[in-house]
Amino acid sequence: MSEKDFPDDLFDKALDALDETGEEPIKTEGIKAVPELLQRGYYDKAVDIMIKIIEDSDPYSINDKIAVTDIAHQVAQEDANIIRRLLPYLYVIYNKTEAYLTRASPDPVLIMNTANVLTLAKSVLYDEVASLKQKIIDVANQISKEYKTVNIPLGDVATRVGLSLVVVLLLVDEMLLNKEVRGHYDSVGDILTLESDKARCYNCGAEFSKDVEKCPSCSTEFPKCVICRLIIRTIPVSCPKCNNSAHREHMLEWLKMSHDKKKDKGMCPICQNYLGPEDLK
pLDDT in tens, 60-108: 578 899 999 999 999 999 999 999 999 999 999 888 754 454 455 567 8
Output the DSSP codes for 40-88.
TT-HHHHHHHHHHHHH--SS--HHHHHHHHHHHHHHHHHHGGGGTTTHH
Output the DSSP codes for 10-47.
HHHHHHHHHHHTTPPPPP-SSTTHHHHHHHTT-HHHHH
**9 class by beta-carbon count within 10 Å (0-12 exposed, 13-18 middle, 19+ buried):** exposed
pTM above 0.75, yes or no: no
> How confident is the model at residue 11, as a pLDDT?
54
CATH second-level architecture of 125-193? Orthogonal Bundle (1.10)
Using one digit for the tens of pLDDT, what is the confidence trace for 169-205?
999 999 998 888 888 998 888 999 998 777 778 888 8
Helix ranges (H only) for the chain are: 10-20, 33-39, 43-55, 62-79, 87-95, 98-101, 108-120, 122-147, 154-161, 165-177, 248-257
What integer is the mean pLDDT of 36-55? 94
**176 class by beta-carbon count within 10 Å (0-12 exposed, 13-18 middle, 19+ buried):** middle
| CA atoms of 87 and 124, how far apart (whole Å) | 8
Taking CA 86 as the corner, what is the angle to CA 124 and CA 56, rounded to the nearest 5 degrees?
A: 160
| CA atoms of 237 and 124, how far apart (whole Å) | 51
Delimiting residues of CATH 1.10.10.10 domain(s) in the chain: 125-193
